[in-house]
Amino acid sequence: MRAVVLVCLLAGLAHADLFTAIADLQHMLGAEKDVTSVIDQYIAAERDRLDDLRRYAHEYVHRNAHAEAVGPEFVTNPINAYLLIKRLTSEWKKVENIMLNNKATTFLKNITDNRVKSEVKFPGEEDLSGAAIALLRLQDTYKLDTLDLSNGIIGGEKVSNKLSGHDTFEVGRAAYNQKDYYHCLMWMQVALNKIENESPATVEESEILEYLAYSLYQQGNVRRALSLTKRLAKIAPNHPRAKGNVKWYEDMLQGKDMVGDLPPIVNKRVEFDGIVERDAYEALCRGEIPPVEKKWKNKLRCYLKRDKPFLKIAPIKVEILRFDPLAVLFKNVISDSEIKVIKELASPKLKRATVQNSKTGELEHATYRISKSAWLKGDLHPVIERVNRRIEDFTGLYQGTSEELQVANYGLGGHYDPHFDFARKEEKNAFKTLNTGNRIATVLFYMSQPERGGATVFNHLGTAVFPSKNDALFWYNLRRDGEGDLRTRHAACPVLLGVKWVSNKWIHERGQEFTRPCGLEEGVQENFIGDLSPYVNDP
* pLDDT tens-digit readout, 382-405: 999 999 999 999 999 999 999 999
- pLDDT-based confidence at 1, cuts 50/70/90? very low
CA-to-CA distance for 57 and 82, rounded, in angstroms? 20
Instruction: Encode pLDDT of 207-261 as tens digits.
Output: 999 999 999 999 999 999 999 999 999 999 999 999 999 999 999 988 665 655 6
Which is more confidently placed, 48 or 370?
370
CA-to-CA distance for 156 and 145, rounded, in angstroms? 10
Q: Residues 127, 129, 133, 135: what is their CA dihedral angle, to the nearest 10 degrees? A: 70
What is the reported pLDDT for 14? 47
- pLDDT-based confidence at 537, cuts 50/70/90? very low
Q: Residue 293: count other Cβ atoms within 10 Å of its Cβ.
A: 12
What is the reported pLDDT for 199? 94
What is the reported pLDDT for 110? 66
Torsion-angle region of 423 (φ positive above 0: left; ψ -120 to 50: alpha; else: beta): beta
CA-to-CA distance for 129 and 487, rounded, in angstroms? 34
Q: How does 514-525 read in b/e, with b if 16+ C-beta sit within 10 Å?
A: eebeeeeeeeee
Q: Residue 270: count other Cβ atoms within 10 Å of its Cβ.
A: 10
What is the reported pLDDT for 364? 59
pLDDT at 44 over 90: no
- pLDDT-based confidence at 536, cuts 50/70/90? very low
pLDDT at 346 over 90: yes
Instruction: Encode pLDDT of 411-434 as tens digits.
Output: 888 888 899 999 998 887 788 888
**Residues, the chain, total?**
539
What is the reported pLDDT for 7? 32
C-beta of residue 281 within 8 angstroms of C-beta of residue 275:
yes
The pLDDT mean for the chain works out to 84
Q: Give domain 307-536's CATH number out of 2.60.120.620, 3.40.50.300, 2.30.33.40, 3.40.50.261.
A: 2.60.120.620
pLDDT at 3 over 60: no
Which is more confidently placed, 440 or 270?
440
Distance from chain centroid for Cα 326: 28
Q: Residues 40, 45, 48, 49: what is their CA dihedral angle, to the nearest 10 degrees? A: -100
Q: What is the mean pLDDT of residues 491-503?
A: 95
Give the whole-number percent of the chain exceeding pLDDT 70: 80
- pLDDT-based confidence at 534, cuts 50/70/90? very low
Which is more confidently placed, 369 or 200?
200
Identify the weakest region by mean pLDDT among 161-175, 274-288, 475-489.
Answer: 274-288
pLDDT at 361 over 90: no
What is the reported pLDDT for 4? 32
C-beta of residue 141 within 8 angstroms of C-beta of residue 286:
yes
- For the chain, domain boundaries: 22-118, 125-253, 307-536
Q: What is the mean pLDDT of residues 434-442?
A: 93
Q: Which residues pair with 445 in a beta bridge?
A: 472, 503
Which is more confidently placed, 206 or 296?
206
pLDDT at 6 over 70: no
Which is more confidently placed, 525 or 266?
525
Which is more confidently placed, 81 or 441?
441
What is the reported pLDDT for 12? 42
Cα angle 448-27-151, degrees, rounded to a multiple of 5: 75
Class of domain 125-253: mainly alpha
- pLDDT-based confidence at 9, cuts 50/70/90? very low
Give yes or no on whether 125-253 and 307-536 have one common fold. Answer: no
